[in-house]
Structure 1
């Protein structure tokens, strides 16, 4: 296959090398190009990591000249479709051709189509794209020279990102730096693009095709992803792939809320404050500009629905874990008791400071909490509720992270757009003994209770 493969690749590259419009491409080009993709598929199936080959075998394939990357994906008509831009894809080596397909499959297994949708109202497209690509590229060899890697982002954005963290960790760090640089990916379209053809890689546009998959509900997408993955397992697979697949097939594989909170707290270390004692890093000769120092104070607001939806046992155990997580940071915690309005607010330093709450038994509105928190310098809002309330917020959250925690007796969040991550509490039994469940788990969480940090 070797010589014939390279001959076909060179022939196809020669055909389009000087093409300036889609109309000028020969009619039989796409058929020949897709036959080249068939050969790449066979190479993947012959590889020791043949999972990728069998996964690709289930996917639809099409040529699309206006994507700004060699490959892209979409969920369409009950299956994943992978698109190829020959103008970019044919410039890759054989190994890079295989790697960029693996890249897209990693996005699928990591549920990035779903997770990116949850973040798009809080973070910029550029930050999300870079964060997702950093995650998947850490597991791949033979990357294209323009691939977005953790080393490239650290170098070009003066960051110190740590490897093998979650997409949410990376997007938060990157967005903060983009804000400092005042870079905006929503700039005007490049008028130099020829017709409907993209000939160069552009990280700000690499996942634009995903928007067409947004109408698919998350549950359906997860089920199809699990089915595709299970059908592709034909033997031994690498540990990192096994972890991703296990997380797909086990809802308990989702990152627990407290682990997620711990990761959020870690991102706050990069918050910065202005100071006159240090020169501006980017313009050191401008004495009129203030420099920046790290600010380690974590401002956490905890909203608790007192309409009767969450038991005292649930809330107290959850607050023990919150306090256990934030104790290693210079922090400040404010409690908000709320139902259709905010009934009381106070600060706490320990579990003993939590006041006995009155159960009102009324309804719930989320908007008053966001209206209140928008007027504070909160970094993280943790909202404990059974999920029943408004469908739309009247006040949109500003520059803070929101973590929704649904009680064990709750179903799902009523909001159409939560503007944050939604997690669930495990059901808590009322016990008569004095054993503290947190003490039992003081050795840490079992790896069976969380997914890979992808």
Structure 2
């Protein structure tokens, strides 16, 4: 395999091993055919050494890495790959890395699995989703002090973001390849081979050439080649569901072991807290929370004389006054706002809710507040303005300046801003996009 095959992984500090030396007119092969299996054992020993060091230095990551068996692969695997079951690697590629870089690659594949990237793509484009998953992991590992192979794409602007947040920010025309192969839903071969009549002629010829090359390599390398794995099939839907459940258990158990060893902190502690939250839709949580404010009660007020002598209780419902604030600093998309509006409007119709709408980045919008009574349909203005930094204080200052405070404030935000120093005397519910924490109030995860 030529060095050009690793155009995203080149490390100029690592000199490739000499494969062929020419003296006079004779070709000398320094590696004998019978030594191929031995070399595979040495390369696997490098991987095992890196995994052992991770167990000692970072029990959380080490335990995750141990969940993936090490499998040497044929030339179909140019660098490393995972199908959420095993860690596949190209022996020549691993042999070109130093110990620090091998750790990076091992953790990278394990985090794809632990964060269930294989189960979260949905209807998103595979190529963009694969890039988003890589861009979510790599800055995190860099921040934790791990050293990647050179020319691995690291985009610091995505630090602290999850793949779902990064995906819409990636240019559709970005000419970039993922640093590894995500085999769990790999349709690259299928998409390229299918046309109106099935496999195209040029693709058939390429496949035949690849099979011939691998067959020739198998004959030349003897017993060592038999240790190289073929590319596994993509996961079936039932496998995805089972593996997602299993990897969540792996994530929780690895975190517990690391906590017992006193070696779980930093970004990974936040990551675990985020991904182990109960996966309940924010729509359900919002409806459940708002229903607690329904002031339905019984009244024993004396009825009209025409009702008879008995005084029976009647059900009375009082109107709820809710303030909704929208973070317009640029982190919330219009599509997300529209979905939020439709959910709140549906709840409002059932609970007799009046709504005051505020839009704020580092200050309140010049056009707010907007007021919607219980009988009005909730419709957001065409433009909410904003686009600057985030400061939550103007919203709370506005509410405190009113004669009557609201029954509850619902704030739609990424929680990256300046919070008031003291908690208000009315309930606050934060609908948060991202991983940021809130100092008080009820926090509901949007994504």
Q: Give me the TM-score of the superposition, normalised by structure 1.
A: 0.47
Structure whose alpha-carbon radius of gyration is higher:
2
Output the TM-score relative to the length of structure 2: 0.48
